Amino acid sequence: MAAARILVVDDEPDIRATIGDILEDEGYAVDLAESAAAAREARRSRQPDVVLLDIWMPDLDGISLLREWNERGGLPCPVVMISGHGTVETAVEATRLGAWDFIEKPISLTKLLLVVGHALEAGRLKRENEGLRRQLPAPAELVGSGRATQALRAQIDKLAAHDTGVLVQGEPGTGKETLARALHERSTRRAGPFVTVAAGAIAREHAAIALFGAEDANGLQQGLIEQANGGTLFLDEVADLDPELQLRLSSVIERRALIRCGGHEPVAIGARVIAATAHDLEALVAAGRFREELYYQLKVVPLTVPPLRERSDDIPELLRYHADWFANRDKLPYRHFPVAVQNRLRHYVWPGNLRELRNLVQRLLVLGSGGDVGLDEVELALGQVATATVPAAAAGSAPAIDFSLPLREAREQFERAYLLYQLDAAGGSVGKLAKAVGMERTHLYRKLKDLDIDPRGGARE
């Protein structure tokens, strides 16, 4: 993993150089700035993990710079103030503006390293918490001891020792994001962020800023790619990126740097790229719908996730794991899957793969009663899944609708079944779903939320 980056802002050359030398000797990457203007530029070009900021400087004092950062999108990271003759009022104002700690001059080597270490840990925990808030809680383990899963786990262990790009291929719902997370957790970047870019879920008009960030005279906004620095960037369903974004992404991977929207200078990027797709990218390249250079940049090492029907030996473990997980997360009563039920589900074809299994287990825990899951419950649940995911012509009947319901509720029942089918046909891509059903994407997201449909099938893949 890349060394933590410390920005030292102090107008006294001797102090600036001394602090820089001490921190570099401890293995940190250090940027030095002699003024507020230099600090702005250093922060713009390379995002620091901690800032050491002198209070008294000739062009603009540290408190004013702290206030400026705080008003323009929040502090970039933990900021430690350096003061030789601060007052109580100064300390109170800096604390109010978000300063993390203070170091007094003359600087104690022991205290400097202690404060920097604690600030780095605080920044890491904050990023992790923010990442957890952005994401749906989901199982992040490769569950199963069948041959296919053991082979996949062995491949991940080998790849974890390297920093190369990986292209994860597999049907929708097979757990591609879970695999990417497992690879991240086994790698040297595990202490860094894991940032997911769900290409199909970003509105086209905001996609460039969301991915590459933006900057203007009023400040800067980090994009998702920049937020992955020091960690892993997971490109979920990369085939959904439009041609312009494909071109810009290819340039970022090639140059290991990006230019924010509205910016002019490159920003260094140090993230491992793991991409995933349920599509045949080679066919899309041949059809002119995916950039060839980006395809080869992503496919340094291809990794295929087998569908669940080829992992039938894992079904018993997966059922136990998810029953336990939902019982703990949602405080549902734990239920046991008897051998007869396990055997029935081992021979089920699982068109929705792991996503379908998770939803099935959750449904059985929510709606069922008693300690053991019965075969009749499973057959009923599988029948409802088939109704929701197979068109009437193929199923031999129309979707089941309770005609005793009021019109509004019956309509919602039909709309939910219809959108679930269309979402499955679109491979989980909201962009493709919007085109298929003829809805504007913002309205579609609202409709999915109203119908309690998670575009990602209830968990990230």
381 or 216, which is more confident?
A: 381
Of 364, 389, 414, which closes a domain?
389
Nearest CA to 306 among 181, 175, 145? 175
Does the pLDDT value for residue 31 go beyond 70? Answer: yes
Distances (CA, A) of 176 to 3, 152, 242: 29, 12, 21
- For the chain, percent of residues with pLDDT exceeding 90: 35
**Structure tokens belonging to residue 360:** 């099935």
Does the pLDDT value for residue 111 go beyond 50? Answer: yes
User: Residue 140 falls within a domain, yes or no?
Assistant: no
| Beta strands 166-169 and 301-304, pairing class | parallel
pLDDT of residue 34: 92
What tens digit of pLDDT does each residue of 135-194 get? Answer: 444 555 789 988 999 999 999 999 998 889 999 999 998 999 999 999 998 998 988 889
Does the pLDDT value for residue 341 go beyond 80? Answer: yes
Region 1-11 average pLDDT: 85
Distances (CA, A) of 187 to 151, 155, 192, 298, 341: 18, 13, 10, 18, 37
What is the Cα–Cα distance from 343 to 349, expressed in whole angstroms? 12
Of 103, 133, 163, which closes a domain?
133
Does the pLDDT value for residue 452 go beyond 80? Answer: no
pLDDT of residue 405: 57
Of the listed ranges 115-129, 244-258, 260-274, the least confidently predicted one is: 115-129
Number of domains the chain is built from: 4
What CATH number does residue 412 fall under? 1.10.10.60
Nearest CA to 46 among 68, 16, 77, 18? 77
pLDDT grade, residue 404 (50/70/90)? low
Assess whether 334 and 412 both reside in one domain.
no
| Residue 349, domain extent | 308-389
Distances (CA, A) of 436 to 199, 222, 271, 423, 433: 17, 33, 35, 9, 5
What CATH number does residue 71 fall under? 3.40.50.2300
Of 99, 133, 167, which closes a domain?
133
What is the Cα–Cα distance from 235 to 276, expressed in whole angstroms? 6
Assess whether 367 and 298 both reside in one domain.
no
Assess whether 291 and 199 both reside in one domain.
yes
In the three-class reduction of DSSP (H, G, I as helix; E, B as strand; rest coil), residue 229 is classed as coil
Assess whether 301 and 320 both reside in one domain.
no
Assess whether 33 and 93 both reside in one domain.
yes
User: Under a CB-based contact definition with an 8 Å cutoff, are residues 461 and 172 in contact?
Assistant: yes
User: Residue 141 falls within a domain, yes or no?
Assistant: no
Assess whether 155 and 291 both reside in one domain.
yes
Does the pLDDT value for residue 398 go beyond 60? Answer: no
43 or 165, which is more confident?
A: 165
What sign does the CA torsion over 330, 336, 339, 341 have?
A: negative
Burial class (CB in 10 A: 0-12, 13-18, 19+), 452: exposed
| Beta strands 257-258 and 267-268, pairing class | antiparallel
Assess whether 179 and 299 both reside in one domain.
yes
User: Residue 139 falls within a domain, yes or no?
Assistant: no
Does the pLDDT value for residue 93 go beyond 60? Answer: yes
Assess whether 196 and 260 both reside in one domain.
yes
45 or 272, which is more confident?
A: 272
